[in-house]
Structure 1
Amino acid sequence: MTDLVRRSFLALTAAGLAAPAAFAQSRAEQAAIGQYGDKAAPFTVFEQDGALHIDGEGFKATRLNALGGGRYAIAGGGELILETGAVRLNGKVLAFHDFGAEVEAAIRKAVRADPALLRQRALAATPPAETGDKLASDLVDVTTITPGIKLDIRYAGANNFMGIPLYEKSAAYLQRPAAEALGRIHRALAAKGYGLLIHDAYRPWSVTWMFWEATPTEARIFVADPTQGSRHNRGCAVDLTLYDLETGQPVEMPSRYDEFSTRAYADFVGGTTAQRERRAVLRQAMEADGFTVYAEEWWHFDYRDYRRYPIGTKTFTELAVG
């Protein structure tokens, strides 16, 4: 359902003009959007152009045709039935899963065991030695370059996959050329009604070490190997999304920020048409000015010159005092 259709539908409902049955069915379909079955090969139900589609279990972006009562005919043959917390695909029950939330819960449990020790070990660890000439680091506060850019720095509080504060303050630092490019992108997006909302930018190497240590091996595709250093450590990577200039609120994307699941992939087929369209708007704007998306995270973009900068170890407190 597009944003325009959703707003029109909600307006009709508020005025008592939308049929209750249609609203109930719409809610059921929206609730069905997500992933099911096996984490290694998820079955995905998603919306495309006003209709539910499925992907996985031998199907590829296949349309569902409503038969009523939560039953759907699968284009090309077969049947899918919506059930509470599951779908029944040609008789096979596939349970709903929020795979990202499940991984996050495991990470938070491990961190809670002894967060002080984890931080102590990270600060005592030694960053990898680097060879070759590097540019002098020139980290700047992004909001001083472009005041309209908003911040929601998740690692400055506990609302992150680790469940603990990792930065001493809420700030976004980038190497000056990357910060200036981000300012141009923010201003260009205004024509489409959007602004940029940053979740993370420069990240001290010790925090990258903590991420790696706390993350299960099978999920480490979503965190950087500290023996190589992160592009965030170099001040040339940014995690961000869009916010609506009219409402000031973040937009919905196909996954949450820092979600450890295939829903986070830059080419994930699922979610809704509107969510995928907004993801494409962000990617196109970023790639038009020197950034490249990380394939496993739609929100992560690397600036073209990241290899030329050294791994950074300064904390936010140290950066604030110069």
Structure 2
Amino acid sequence: MDRSFFRALAVLAAALLAIPVASAPAQARPEPTAPKEFVALRDVDRTILEEIRYTTAHNFVGDPIDGYRQPMCILTRPAAEALHRAQRTLLRRGYSLKVYDCYRPQRAVDHFVAWAQDLDDQRMKAEFYPRVDKADLFADGYIAEKSGHSRGSTVDVTLVKLPARPTRPYRPGERLVPCYYPQHLRFPDNSIDMGTGYDCFDTLSHTLDPRITGEQRANRLLLKSALEAEGFVNLPEEWWHFTHKPESFPDTYFDFPVSRSSLTPRR
């Protein structure tokens, strides 16, 4: 064979070596799942009403929130069982608990933080923070980089008089009414009158604000006493916010999605 043949082979080999080898496709990281201590509230008590606001656009952001895959309440088992005990007491008085939010993944908290930093997005101001400058939400404590909800023993909750009437769905773009307006003017909610709507960024939401009197104050105290009897502690700035003590995970902030699949399989 002549030299030109070998030169051609050498050129071909060099060309083949220069072709980049496609790397194996990156494996998608599996979603985190909940420890065995977490349960779906519905598996513990099917009578407690659930209206998980962050799966919808009816919240202070105006969009469904990251990490809320299904409208369900997930809690640590001790917190869920304590709600069950409180529910049994309240049912005898003609009321039901209704949860707005339970376990909240860290990615949802991150969504809140990113939204709060976008001062141009004021879509839901007229309802949820009409008297607060959005630039002050961090300083005033309405938004933070960590939430007790992510530890799994905190719940946002209200009371509904039985028999419960349905709450109509929110229609994105509808006219918004301030959350501190009288109940008959606010967005309709089958909750009894607590003096403000849920997630109202206003000092009127402070559980014992002296401007809240009469039936509204009695309703707040009914909720507070029923939950405190079962080991919950109220956050004074939010009449709806309660944490069951002692917490199962006092120092851990979880990020598994709110979905049934986060709780399975169970062995």
Q: TM-score, normalised by structure 1?
A: 0.54
Paired letter, 1:149: I
Gaps of 5+ in 2: 1-34, 117-133, 166-189
Q: Is the 8 A contact 1:222 1:260 kept in 2?
A: no
Partner of 2:113: 212
Is 1:260 matched up with 2:201?
A: yes
Is 1:231 matched up with 2:125?
A: no
- The structure 2 residue matched to 1:310, chosen from 249, 252, 255, is 252
Tell me how far apart the structure 1 counterparts of residues 216 and 84 of structure 2 sit (CA, whole Å): 23
Tell me how far apart the structure 2 counterparts of residues 208 and 305 of structure 1 sit (CA, whole Å): 23
Partner of 2:237: 296
Q: Is the 8 A contact 1:175 1:235 kept in 2?
A: yes
Paired letter, 2:204: R
Shift of 1:211: 1.3
Cα RMSD, aligned residues only = 2.0
Is 1:319 matched up with 2:218?
A: no
**Which sits farther off after the overlay, 171-180 or 268-277?**
268-277
Identical pairs, percent: 32
Paired letter, 1:156: T
Tell me how far apart the structure 2 counterparts of residues 321 and 158 of structure 1 sit (CA, whole Å): 28
Show CA shifts across 1:169-207 (max 9, x none): 100000000100000001111222211000000000011
Tell me how far apart the structure 1 counterparts of residues 209 and 191 of structure 2 sit (CA, whole Å): 20
Tell me how far apart the structure 2 counterparts of residues 234 and 223 of structure 1 sit (CA, whole Å): 18
Show CA shifts across 1:17-58 (max 9, x none): xxxxxxxxxxxxxxxxxxxxxxxxxxxxxxxxxxxxxxxxxx
Question: Any residues of structure 2 matched to 1:1-322 within 5 Å, and which?
Answer: 138-166=37-65, 167-215=68-116, 216-220=134-138, 221-223=140-142, 225-226=144-145, 229-248=146-165, 249-306=190-247, 307-308=249-250, 310-317=252-259, 318-319=261-262, 321-322=264-265
Tell me how far apart the structure 1 counterparts of residues 237 and 91 of structure 2 sit (CA, whole Å): 27
Paired letter, 1:218: D
Tell me how far apart the structure 2 counterparts of residues 301 and 223 of structure 1 sit (CA, whole Å): 16
Paired letter, 2:55: A
Structure with the higher fraction of residues in helix conformation: 1
Gaps of 5+ in 1: 1-135
Q: Whose RCO is larger (CA < 8 A, sep 6+)?
A: 2
Tell me how far apart the structure 2 counterparts of residues 287 and 137 of structure 1 sit (CA, whole Å): 26
Paired letter, 1:191: R
Tell me how far apart the structure 2 counterparts of residues 309 and 183 of structure 1 sit (CA, whole Å): 25
**Which sits farther off after the overlay, 307-316 or 145-154?**
307-316
Tell me how far apart the structure 2 counterparts of residues 141 and 257 of structure 1 sit (CA, whole Å): 22
Partner of 1:7: none
